[in-house]
Amino acid sequence: MRVIGRMLFVSVIAVASLGAMSQQQQHSEQQPSDKEIRIGNVMPYSGPLSEFGAIGQAEAAYFDMINARGGINGRRIRFITRDDNSDPASALELTRNLVEKDDVHVMFGSFGTPGNLATRWYLNEKKIPQLFVASGDEELSQARAFPWTMGWQPSFRSEGRIYANYIQAYYPRKKIVVLWQNDQFGRQLYKGIQEGLGDLNRHVLVDIAFDINDEHLEGHVSILKRAGADIFVFLGVPSTASKVIKLAASLKWRPVFIVNDASATIANAMAPAGLENSAGVISAAFLKDPSDPAWKDDPAMREWFTFMDRYHQVESTNSSAAVYGYAAAEALTQVLKQCGDDVSRENIMRQAASLRDYQPSVALPNIRMNTSPERYLPIRQMRLVQFDGRSWQPFGDVIETAFTEGAAR
């Protein structure tokens, strides 16, 4: 549920791992064979959240790499990805087609809370794995109620509680303002902050909800500055975060700035806002930022850049969204390897629910995946980080986030 490369996607860029959209369409109409594993996916390649389409593109490229290396247990991967334009109704229709026409073994990594909630009942009724959804909503990790649906990233509410705990520990008497994205993503993050603050919610002077295409950001930031707060919490996407940080600087306002994980990307938020303006920003992370020079000699990130050069030649290799897709595809590959010769849907789900201390290569140190039949949120750790104008500096210990099944209901 660290993402984001600000690229311009159009629906024609919804690619499969075997080529461009036109080629993918041709492949998806072919008769399936027992020598392939068919993976379905839905992404916002167009529309207001198109910056997250980089996740699906990286996943397609990752499976290209897997196929070039001989596939998984002798089977090739056919990754069929579709553009839902961030529309839940389209997500449901496209998912039905992927199941009923393309006969996918598994739906993997589809983006966003509304779309995944829209398809959850259908996929559970059909007993189709809905694995590693690209959302941190706890409702998508309810093992008892929806045994065929599994999350991946730390939950949004848990992330919000991390920021609340940070405020309690370092600034217990300071005044707070919050600017949050007015959708399920933003609401869940803010709900976690409110739960974590408890009695300290009285210190929240103003909170403003904004729409993804809001044209009044300057007015919002001006109102928040006039409130006289010491702490500014932003909860949204990186393209908006960069504008907000720059606006605060233009108003000569230098509060303690907290941004959510999805917006904590140097290339797509901190740098566009101005490195000097962004210095001091606090966030929480679980994946490495490819634009952070701290990782330039890291073996896993060297492999990442090699992968990007060879299989995913795009304008920038610094997309945190692409790293997210790479890490999620790597995790699914591990699950499919564990399946051996049995790639039935039941066994895919069984193996997904039996991961033990698996660490995606681009995860931060000591961030691991663990699942069980009762534990459907694979990643529950994050690290607090602070941007020093050049790099993210971790501080404190790895934080094990709290999660209770049924809490989101």
Sign of the four-CA dihedral 131, 70, 287, 379:
positive
Closest CA to 318 of 2, 64, 5: 5
Partners of 259 in the β-ladder:
234
Segment-wise mean pLDDT, segments of 10 residues, the chain, 409 residues: 36 37 37 78 95 95 96 96 96 98 97 97 98 96 96 96 96 96 96 95 96 92 96 96 97 97 95 97 97 95 93 80 96 97 96 96 96 95 97 94 52
The confidence score (pLDDT) of residue 317 equals 75
The whole-number pLDDT of residue 33 equals 53
Architecture, CATH, for domain 11-153+297-378: 3-Layer(aba) Sandwich (3.40)
The answer to whether the 11-153+297-378 and 156-285+383-400 domains have the same CATH topology is yes
Domain ranges of the chain: 11-153+297-378, 156-285+383-400
Instruction: Give the model confidence (pLDDT) of 255-308 as tens digits.
Output: 999 999 999 999 999 999 999 999 999 999 999 999 999 999 999 999 999 999
- What pLDDT is stored for residue 31 in this prediction? 39
- What is the distance between the alpha carbons of residues 240 and 161, in angstroms, rounded to a whole number? 22
What does pTM read for this prediction?
Answer: 0.89
| pLDDT (0 to 100) of residue 312 | 85
Q: What is the model's pLDDT at position 314?
A: 75
The string over 147-156, giving b where at least 16 C-beta atoms fall within 10 Å of a residue's C-beta and e elsewhere, is: ebbbbbbbbb
Name the E strands within 204-269.
204-210, 231-235, 256-259
- What does the pLDDT look like over 174-193, one tens digit per residue? 999 999 999 999 999 999 99
What CATH code would you report for 156-285+383-400? 3.40.50.2300
pLDDT at 401: 78
Whether residue 230 contacts residue 258, with contact meaning beta carbons closer than 8 Å, is answered with no
